[in-house]
Structure 1
Amino acid sequence: MLGRSAAFVVAATVGAATLSAASAPSPLYPVYQRLFGFSSLVLTVVFAVYVVALLVALLTVGSVSDIVGRRPVASAALVLLAVGMMLFAGAEGTGTLLVARIVQGFAVGAATGTITAMILDAAPGPVIGSVVSSAFSPLGIAIGAVLSGALVEFAPLPRQLVYWVLGAVYVVLAGLVWLVPEPGREGAERNVDGHEGTRPSVWRSLVPSAALPVEVAPTFAALAPSISATWALAGLYLSLGSSVIGDLLGVTSHFVIGLVLGVFFASGIAGTALSAALRPQLREPFGYGALAAGVAVTMAATASSSLPVYLVGSVLAGAGFGASFRFAVNALGEKAPPESRGEVFATMYIVSYLAFSVPALVAGLAVEAVGLEPTALGYGCLVIALVAGASVASARIRRRGASDTTKKQEQA
């Protein structure tokens, strides 16, 4: 078995590698459109089926790792992800792309909650655990976008090589996760009602469900708008981002398209680290402020067809994405009992990926009706509105907490 530090590195690597699969097809979407002759609506359907499959996985196997352990779930998900990469490499039409996205989505859905819990289990401390568990998503997506764009632009076999590389990585990691120690699961001898004496049923855990421990639910409800805002913006970048950069900003290089997409997600890593360095009372407003300001700048860049301004906006929005999501992961990690972390983070990712996919699918319909530029601008307005909602929800929670504290002091 690996030591704690090595196990933490492996878990973080698995997390980043898994999310690389989500963005790897993005620089290739314009190629697929030209090659297979499908519309922007079909493009968003190809994007959306990934999320549907991912949600099915989160609703069914999302909490299985709390029962059988992190290693078997993570390993099986990585093997399935390698299969999905091979399907992409052999894609010869829209139907094959849809099948590949479904397999990929189910694999990522099975892995995300489990790997987030694995990172927190192996982390040497809560601060670095929350930073890495929230940073691996943007890091992985950035790696996938930039790697794919580079290989498509400069390497041979542009529609296959990136998938072969990622598939090989997943097979290796599927073996490495078996060296990560399993934590003691205090809930391993509790039944589904929480009583002592009966091991939880794996089969019952596969019944589609999304649940939260009672002590986590209020925090989760307050964070839902910010989680939705961050992942709705990520959905725009990965679904229509290539079209916005290519058609509205005039970029023709697949590598540059991948690089611009990667800038947003790489900035998310910087935002995550910066958030951890700030005083606790500044972390939430910094995340929300940077997210809203960045979206506003990208909207101005889209309207004026300015790539440099779009890059500035992407850096700001990405920093807000990372800081806001890190704040959510940290808050939920602090509230969640260790034996329920897989379930809590699976539920978090259900909300995340609903926000990731539903607005993007609606945007695909809107592109057909009103065009790409009005759709992108309207999408930006939606994200800013969600950020405003998150700020209001947070203020209400703070006021309620202050009121409860005052009442307790008066009673004392």
Structure 2
Amino acid sequence: MSSVISQRSSLAFLVITVLTFLAASSAPTPLYQVYQDNLHFSAAMLTAIFGVYAVSLLAALLTVGSLSDYLGRKPVIFAALLLNIVAMLLFINADSTAYLLAARALQGFATGTATAVLSATLLDTDRVRGPMLNSLAPMLGMASGGLGSGLLVEFAPRPTQLIYFTLLGFMVLQALYVWRLPETVSRIPGALKSLAPTLHVPPQARRALWLAMPLNVAVWALGGFVSSLAPSLVRAATGSTSHLIGGGLVAVVTLSGAVMIYSLRNRAANQVMRLSAALLAVGVGLLLVAVQTASLWLFFVASVIAGFGFGGGFMGSVRSIVGLALPHERAGLMSAFYVLSYLAFCVPALLAGNLSRVFGLIATTDGYAVVLILLALGALGGLLMQDAARARAAA
């Protein structure tokens, strides 16, 4: 009985910690316009502040992403929490772009460190619910961070500090509690060697990883665009100046993604991925219509449908690979998965941010949406061909 309670408390702690890291990652989104108005920096600097987070996160995944396979899970989770605590303190005191760049860089490295180790620890703790929680917790975290920050910006005093004080409190408590977790892997030699930038993908998981990539790229490219440019897009298309809308769109996409994940948690990965690819294409198509018609309500309808595709595509991709790694391979595999995911998250969004200065945000969004639709439809076609090949082989 005590082991069951221990497992439940461990799962609860891990999920809450993932929620906290992802909430912190999306909290700045509704604040970008506030920072830009207060500190008077350019759109290029805004893109840099978004980009430095992603670059730093990728650096962490490539170097320390598999470190917990060698040192154990708890020390790496603790180190990630300490780094993020320092990042929150930088945000609280941010009075220049230098502070914002430093805070986002440190936050990116902390989140990259935590992403792989927390994903692996969830899988270690519960092989049945772990994949679903690995998909659900980030969605809920991004939603709570974006929406909570947007509400504070719109209605609370000290909007650029209160959200970070709240997150700081959670992180301090988590840093104290983490040592009560049971360790799920034993220490093995090779920690220093593992820091060399590389992707640790077990041979038996490589084919499944590449088959999942087209849909996963489309999913994360949508997430990067929403996280970085959604507030500016709504303002450009509809004229709305509410800070709540930008965070609201992030919340709508991620919450509908969470609903999709929970609703389809018992379905086969390939079924989830097929449905998600179709929904993603439809949702992004409706987003195009919303931009062209300047319809705020259609923005949210499109975001719900695209969010279904976002969440289901993410879960289906994770579930298609996680069962293919041994315990001491899990952090490395999840690190590689997230490296590819965050490349899709940041590179297209950074490119869109730069192109918008040349062609305008509306025209850039049109092109971005068309590419996402083609990716989603291509992924759907590939999945259908894979299912047909399996059916022929079984006949």
TM-score, scaled to structure 1: 0.91
2:73 to 70, 73, 88: 70
- RMSD (Å), alpha carbons: 1.7
Structure 2 residue 89 is the aligned partner of structure 1 residue 86: yes
Closer, same or farther: CA 396–338 of 1 in aligned 2, 3 Å: farther
2:323 to 312, 316, 334: 334
* Contact 1:11 1:177 (C-alpha < 8 Å) held by counterparts: no
> 2:254 aligns to what?
265
Residue 160 of structure 2 aligns to a residue in which SS? coil
Structure 1 runs not aligned, ≥5 long = 189-198, 407-412
> 2:137 aligns to what?
136
Report the Cα distance in structure 2 between the residues aligned to 1:268 and 1:161, rounded to whole angstroms.
27
1:116 to 116, 119, 127: 119
Report the Cα distance in structure 1 between the residues aligned to 2:270 and 2:52, rounded to whole angstroms.
39
* Contact 1:22 1:141 (C-alpha < 8 Å) held by counterparts: yes
Q: How does 1:186-201 map to 2 (within 5 A)?
A: 199-201=188-190
Report the Cα distance in structure 1 between the residues aligned to 2:55 and 2:294, rounded to whole angstroms.
33
Q: How does 1:358-369 map to 2 (within 5 A)?
A: 358-369=347-358
Report the Cα distance in structure 1 between the residues aligned to 2:143 and 2:48, rounded to whole angstroms.
22
Which amino acid is 2:237 matched to?
L
> 2:265 aligns to what?
276
Report the Cα distance in structure 2 between the residues aligned to 1:176 and 1:249, rounded to whole angstroms.
46
> 1:32 aligns to what?
35
Percent identity of paired positions between Structure 1 and Structure 2 = 38
Closer, same or farther: CA 228–339 of 1 in aligned 2, 3 Å: same
* Contact 2:257 2:311 (C-alpha < 8 Å) held by counterparts: yes
> 1:210 aligns to what?
199
Which amino acid is 1:118 matched to?
T
Q: How does 1:13-412 map to 2 (within 5 A)?
A: 13-123=16-126, 125-126=127-128, 128-185=129-186, 199-278=188-267, 282-402=271-391
Structure 2 runs not aligned, ≥5 long = none
> 1:196 aligns to what?
none
* Contact 2:238 2:296 (C-alpha < 8 Å) held by counterparts: yes
Report the Cα distance in structure 1 between the residues aligned to 2:12 and 2:283, rounded to whole angstroms.
31
Query: 1:158-217: per-residue Cα shift (whole Å, max 9, x none)?
Result: 1111111111211111222222212245xx5xxxxxxxxxx3311111111112110000
* Contact 1:267 1:319 (C-alpha < 8 Å) held by counterparts: yes
Residue 41 of structure 2 aligns to a residue in which SS? coil
Structure 1: which 4+ aligned runs deviate by more than 6 Å? none
How many pairs align? 392
Q: How many Å apart are 1:40 and its aligned residue?
A: 2.1
Stretch moving more, 33-42 or 92-101: 33-42
TM-score, scaled to structure 2: 0.95
* Contact 2:85 2:171 (C-alpha < 8 Å) held by counterparts: yes
